Amino acid sequence: MKVVIRILIGALLALGINGMSAAHPTFAAATVSGCPTSESALQTDITNAGAGGTVTFNCSTATTITFGSTITISNTVTLDGSTSRGRVTLDGGGATQMFVVNSGVTVYLTALTLSSGHAFTYDGTYSGDCGGAIFNYGAVTVTNSTFSGNHADSGGAVCSSGTVTVFNSTFSGQRSDQFGGAIGNDVNGTVTITTSTFSGNSAGSYGGAIFNEGNMTVLNSTFSTNLSASGTSGGGDYGGAILNNNNATLQLGGTVISSSPGGPAFRSARSPTLGTTSYPMAIALVAGRVTSRAPARVSTPTVYGTMAVLPRLSLSSRAARPSIRSRRRIPYRA
């Protein structure tokens, strides 16, 4: 009898110990409301919100949250500033990339300003020097938000190898040393932009506002005074606003691209679709001159709606060769 009791006690103790060792803290999806004033406080709120949760900013006055290190987001989360009385700004301080979004994770950013992000960490990782505000491996949805003054080697504000959706947002004053002054979309990425504005962005090499290597749709948006610096020194055709790279897919509808200093604002190495049945071209993207060094590479674009000819805009069939993943400067050759 004593033996049986001892066996039962031992089994119960073993179960208890195993249960204790297997237990891990978990956070059910929740809404966390408040006004975090530091990056560490925001990180705590994101953790407490749990997978699928929401961080609702509730600041009585304009609030800037300065980042001293990058927050890696590993669970789906919403960061929502739409009900805050004071505008919330997430600020990289000119020295820090703000977010890395992991694969399989969705991040929703609503009514926020992301400014002064900085990505120049040459540590052998893709994300280290790409995307001044955000590097995305998963999915990011941006609504009613502003990106300003972010800077990276490529993808001044956002660099993506996943899915990015942008609605009713503004990108102004972003800068990259190489590709994509505001957004860099790599060969694995898909970007959809609707009712948004890109102005005053610049790239040291290609795509003053956007450098696209993957799939991209831009609808009812406006591009103005964006600059590809290589366009000024290299004679143009480097995509002051948009450069659509080899084998990339680009559809533009209801979108206005105005002049860019130093060269054509729009350049595609593959024939784009201009307009859709739902978003016909209200104004044209192709100007009076069409440059071509390899005409067989680009066919006549598919056009829905009426195109108008505007100055200093052209569709170039001169193929692009660099890659946002190359992580080094590649001389342009047609």
pLDDT score of 104:
97
Please, are residues 263 and 240 in contact by the beta-carbon 8 Å criterion?
A: yes
The 10s digit of each residue's pLDDT in 184-197 is 999 999 999 999 99
Please, are residues 71 and 98 in contact by the beta-carbon 8 Å criterion?
A: yes
Q: Please list, in sequence order, all residues whose beta carbon lies within 8 angstroms of the beta carbon of residue 319, skipping any fewer than 6 positions away.
A: 246, 269, 293, 294, 297, 334
Write down the domain spans for the chain: 69-303
Helix (H, G, I), strand (E, B) or coil at 72: strand
Dihedrals φ, ψ of 75, to 5°?
-130, 150
pLDDT score of 35:
98
Q: Which CATH class is domain 69-303?
A: mainly beta
Please, are residues 275 and 281 in contact by the beta-carbon 8 Å criterion?
A: yes
pLDDT score of 228:
83
Give the Cα separation of 208 and 179 in Å (integer). Answer: 8
Please, are residues 210 and 182 in contact by the beta-carbon 8 Å criterion?
A: yes
Give the Cα separation of 207 and 231 in Å (integer). Answer: 9
Provide the sign of the torsion angle of the four alpha carbons 120, 126, 130, 136, taken in this order: negative
Give the Cα separation of 103 and 127 in Å (integer). Answer: 12
Return the percent helix, strand and coil in the chain, to nearest 5: 15, 35, 55
pLDDT score of 64:
98
pLDDT score of 126:
61
Mean pLDDT value across the chain: 77
CA-closest candidate to residue 265, choices 257, 256, 276: 257
Please, are residues 237 and 208 in contact by the beta-carbon 8 Å criterion?
A: no
Helix (H, G, I), strand (E, B) or coil at 2: helix
Low-confidence ranges of the chain (pLDDT < 70): 1-27, 122-128, 230-238, 258-266, 268-334
Give the Cα separation of 114 and 133 in Å (integer). Answer: 7
